């Protein structure tokens, strides 16, 4: 604007002063935008304070180390730290809470949850490692601790010279034989092949068809073919027990015949 005469000079100066004052005191970026351009800070500082807020829509890219003061941080590799919690995209995604033996790791890639020496994976709980590891299988209801397996109404102990299984009141051994409850006599029964030993209100020893039974009224001896064989020296008065020939037994052996008579083999 050209100055036409001195009468306008004072008004012109006043207008210039007002414009300079507005530039000095005005907030030039209070309502502003940049289209297809950029704002660059070289060796400076962009600071948001007094309740300011940073919002954006699009892609956020950052190169180099950085941190956000407060309760969380963005670390290298896209890891987000919130207090003692780390959220990582590694291996399909992980959430780590705490550190050391009490640390908890939720691994999205493997579907596992680990807390110290305890691991949850695929419906199973693993405690410890190695030969003493304990495994709880939720699908089968089975618990394995080393060489011991616990199932519904069944316990199996593997390894050793004779693996054993306890099931429904019966202990069976891998080498043959068993020990089980005998409810008929309120006691136990031991079986090995055709040999059976019972102990309870009565006691008995059986081998094949031969047996010795001890009960409240006495002892019953049931010998094979109704014969009682005593392979031990016996002192008898001559002629007290009649002899019987053709038995094929050693001379002097006592036997009970089919008629119940006591004889000595001759």
Query: For the chain, what is the HEC assignment?
Result: CCCCCHHHHHHHHHHHHHHHHHHHHCCCCCCCCCCCCCCCCCCCCCCCCCCCCCCCCCCCCCCCCCCCCCCEEECHHHCEEECCEEEECHHHCEEEECCHHHCEEEECCCCEEEECCEEEECCEEEECCHHHCEEEECCCCEEEECCEEEECCEEEECCCCCCEEEECCEEEECCCCEEEEECCCCEEEEEECCEEEEECCCEEEEECCEEEEEECCEEEEECHHHCCCCCCCCCCCCCCCCEECCCCCCCCCEEECCCCCEEEEC
Q: What is the pLDDT along the chain (266 residues), one digit of tens a residue?
A: 565 666 677 777 888 888 877 766 656 666 677 788 888 888 888 888 888 888 777 777 778 777 666 667 777 777 888 888 888 888 788 898 987 777 888 898 888 999 888 899 988 999 988 888 999 998 888 999 888 888 888 888 887 777 888 888 888 888 788 999 888 888 999 999 889 999 998 899 988 888 888 877 666 777 655 444 555 565 666 567 788 888 888 887 877 777 767 778 88
Q: What is the pTM of this model?
A: 0.45
Other beta carbons less than 10 A from residue 38's beta carbon: 5
């Amino acid at each position: 604007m050209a100055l036409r005469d001195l009468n306008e000079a004072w008004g012109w100066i006043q207008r210039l002063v007002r414009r300079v004052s507005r530039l000095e005191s005005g907030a030039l970026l209070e309502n502003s935008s940049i289209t297809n351009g950029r704002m660059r800070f070289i060796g400076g500082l962009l600071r948001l304070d007094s309740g300011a807020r940073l919002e954006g829509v699009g892609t956020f890219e950052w190169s180099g180390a950085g941190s956000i003061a407060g309760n969380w941080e963005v670390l290298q590799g896209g890891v987000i730290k919130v207090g003692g919690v780390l959220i990582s995209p590694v291996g399909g995604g992980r959430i780590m809470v705490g550190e050391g033996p009490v640390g908890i790791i939720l691994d999205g890639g493997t579907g596992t949850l680990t807390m110290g020496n305890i691991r949850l994976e695929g419906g199973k709980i693993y405690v410890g490692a190695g030969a003493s590891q304990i495994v709880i299988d939720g699908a089968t209801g089975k618990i394995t601790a080393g060489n011991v397996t616990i199932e519904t109404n069944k316990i199996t102990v593997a390894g050793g010279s004779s693996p054993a299984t306890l099931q429904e009141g019966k202990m069976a051994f891998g080498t043959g034989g068993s020990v089980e409850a005998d409810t008929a006599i309120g006691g136990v029964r031991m079986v090995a092949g055709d040999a059976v030993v019972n102990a309870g209100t009565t006691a008995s020893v059986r081998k094949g068809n031969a047996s010795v039974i001890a009960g409240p009224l006495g002892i019953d001896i049931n010998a094979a073919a109704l014969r009682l064989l005593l392979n031990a020296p016996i002192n008898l008065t001559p002629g007290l027990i009649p002899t019987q020939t053709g038995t094929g037994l050693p001379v002097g052996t006592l036997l009970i015949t089919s008629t119940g008579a006591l004889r000595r083999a001759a």
